[in-house]
Amino acid sequence: MSETARRMFLRHLLMSPLMAAQSPEASIERCLDVFDFMPLAQKKIMKWHWAYLQTGVDGDLTLKRNSEAFQEIQLRARRFLDTSRIDTTAEVFGERWASPLFICPVGSQQAFHPEGELATARAAKARGRQMILSNMTSTHVRDVSKAYGRPPWYQLYVSDDWSVATHIVKQADSAGCPVLILTVDSAVGSNRVTMRRGGTKADAVCQSCHVNSTAGYMKEHPMYDGADTSKARGLTGFITWEMIDRIRAMTKMRLVAKGVVTREDAAECVARGIDGIIVSNHGGRQEESLRGTIESLPEVVEAVKGRIPVMLDSGVRRGTDILTALALGATAVGIGRPYIWGLGAFGQPGVERVIDILHEEMILTMKMIGVLQSSAIGAASIVRK
C-alpha cells in the first residue's frame, strides 16, 4: 500500500461511525467530573426520558438554586496538619458506612439503561454504598436485593388508596428492607414544564409504550403487581400523621421522612418518633421554592439537635458539596441525577465511576483543608461568601 493510500485509509477509518462510537471522548476514563457523563448519557437516552430526568418545575429555578447555593459557601483550609491518613466513614443507624455518600431513589431506571436498578444495585454493592430503591422501580425489590447482596432501603409513595400503600409496605417488609423512606414532598403532581416540553404520556409517541393513566403507570411498575389499583386516583397522595401511625403499626422498618425542609416539620418528626430525616426538595422537582436544600439544612439540624440522623440531597455535584453539607450538620449526603448520568452513559461501570469521582474529590479536599475525619467536620470549616 502506498503512503498516500495508507493515509487515506487511516483518515477514512478515523471518520467512520465505528471509530466515533469508540472515540476517546466517549471513554469512561475521560470523564473527569460528574458533569462529563451528562452529554454521553444524553446521547444514549431517548429524548423524552432525558426530559423526565433533567426537569425541574416552573422555570427550573429551584433545580439551579440547589447547586448554586453550595457555591456560596466557602471552605476554610487549615494547614500544619498531617492528613496522610483520613477517615471517610459515616455512622447511620448504628451501621458504619465507608463514605457518607448514598444513592437516592430514582424511579423507572430502565428508561435510562436496559439494566436499570440492577446495574445501580451492583455498582452500589461494589462500592459499599447505601442504596435507596424507589417505589417506582422497574425491577421488583426482591430481584434488586439479590443484585445488591442485601435488601436496600425502600422508598414509599403513599397513593390515595390505602390498600395499595399497604400492599407496597408489606412487600418491602417481606423483602427484609430495614428502612422505609416516606417521601413527603409529593402530595400533588408538580409543574414539570421542561419535561412536558420534551413530551408527555399524552403524546402519541409515548403512548406506543405507556398508557396515560394512574392505573397504566402503576401497571408498568412491578411493585404494584397483585394490588387492586383500580380505585387509586394518583400515584402519590397526602401523607398525614395518622397514616404514618398506621404504617408504624404495620412494620418494624425504621421510618425516614424524605423532603423535610423546615424546622417546624423537623421538630414534629422527632416528637412523633420518626427515625431519620432527609432534607430534600426532590432535586427541584416539586415546589418552586427557590430555596436550595443546603439553605434549609441549618434550621432542620438546629431543630433536631442530634436526636436522629439528618441526611441531605439535591444539587450535590462535587466532593466539596458533600463536605459542606457535613460541615452544616448532615450525617450523610445523597445523589440522584449524577449517578443516573453514569448509568445512562456506561451502565454499572458508569455508576461506579461517578461514586469514585465524588469520593476522590472528597478525600483530596479533606487532605487539603485539614479534615481528618469526615464525620467530625463542623462549622469551623466553612464560611458564607
SS3 content of the chain, % helix, strand, coil (to 5): 50, 10, 40
The answer to the question of residue 297 lying near ligand FMN (CB under 6 A) is no
- Write the Ramachandran bin of 51: left for phi over 0, alpha for psi from -120 to 50, otherwise beta: alpha
Give 241's Cβ-side CA count (13 Å radius): 8
Judged by CB under 6 A, the chain residues 173 through 192 that form the site for ligand FMN are: 183
Q: Which is nearer to ligand FMN, 222 or 370 (CB)?
A: 222
Short-list 299, 24, 276, CA closest to 155: 276
Q: Which of 113, 167, 221, 282 is catalytic?
A: 282
The answer to the question of residue 57 lying near ligand FMN (CB under 6 A) is no
Q: What is the DSSP string of 104-145?
A: PP-S-GGGT-TTHHHHHHHHHHHTT--BEE-TT-SS-HHHHH
Q: How far is the CB of 156 from ligand FMN (least distance, A)?
A: 9
Short-list 281, 276, 249, CA closest to 332: 276
The Cα 287–Cα 65 span in angstroms is: 13
**Using N-to-C axis directions, what is the helix angle for 37-44 and 348-369, rounded to 10°?**
170
The answer to the question of residue 258 lying near ligand FMN (CB under 6 A) is yes
Annotated active-site residue 210? The verdict is: no
Q: How far is the CB of 186 from ligand FMN (least distance, A)?
A: 7
The answer to the question of residue 53 lying near ligand FMN (CB under 6 A) is yes
The answer to the question of residue 312 lying near ligand FMN (CB under 6 A) is no
Residue sitting closest to ligand FMN (CB): 336
Q: Which is nearer to ligand FMN, 151 or 334 (CB)?
A: 334
Q: Which is nearer to ligand FMN, 105 or 309 (CB)?
A: 105
User: Using CB under 6 A as the criterion, what x/- string covers residues 328-357 for binding ligand FMN?
Assistant: -------xxx--------------------
Q: How far is the CB of 151 from ligand FMN (least distance, A)?
A: 17
Q: What amino acid is encoded at 122 in this protein? A: R
Q: How far is the CB of 285 from ligand FMN (least distance, A)?
A: 6
CB 69 within 8 A of CB 297: no
Q: Which of 106, 257, 301, 362 binds ligand FMN (CB under 6 A)?
A: 106
Short-list 311, 250, 346, CA closest to 39: 346
Q: Which residue do the cell numbers 455498582 mark? A: 123
The answer to the question of residue 139 lying near ligand FMN (CB under 6 A) is no
The answer to the question of residue 286 lying near ligand FMN (CB under 6 A) is no
The Cα 346–Cα 193 span in angstroms is: 28
The torsion of the CA quartet 42, 44, 48, 51, rounded to 10 degrees, works out to: -20
Q: How far is the CB of 334 from ligand FMN (least distance, A)?
A: 6
The answer to the question of residue 113 lying near ligand FMN (CB under 6 A) is no
Q: Which of 66, 171, 236, 381 binds ligand FMN (CB under 6 A)?
A: 66
The answer to the question of residue 198 lying near ligand FMN (CB under 6 A) is no
Q: Which of 315, 319, 344, 347 binds ligand FMN (CB under 6 A)?
A: 315
The answer to the question of residue 69 lying near ligand FMN (CB under 6 A) is no
Q: Which of 62, 139, 280, 331 binds ligand FMN (CB under 6 A)?
A: 280
Cell of 357: 469521582
Sheet with strand 179-183: strands edge to edge: 101-103, 332-335, 310-313, 276-279, 254-258, 179-183, 153-156, 132-133
Positions that interact with ligand FMN (CB under 6 A): 52-53, 66, 104-107, 134-136, 155, 183, 258, 280, 282-283, 285, 313-316, 335-337
Q: Annotated catalytic sites, by residue?
A: 282
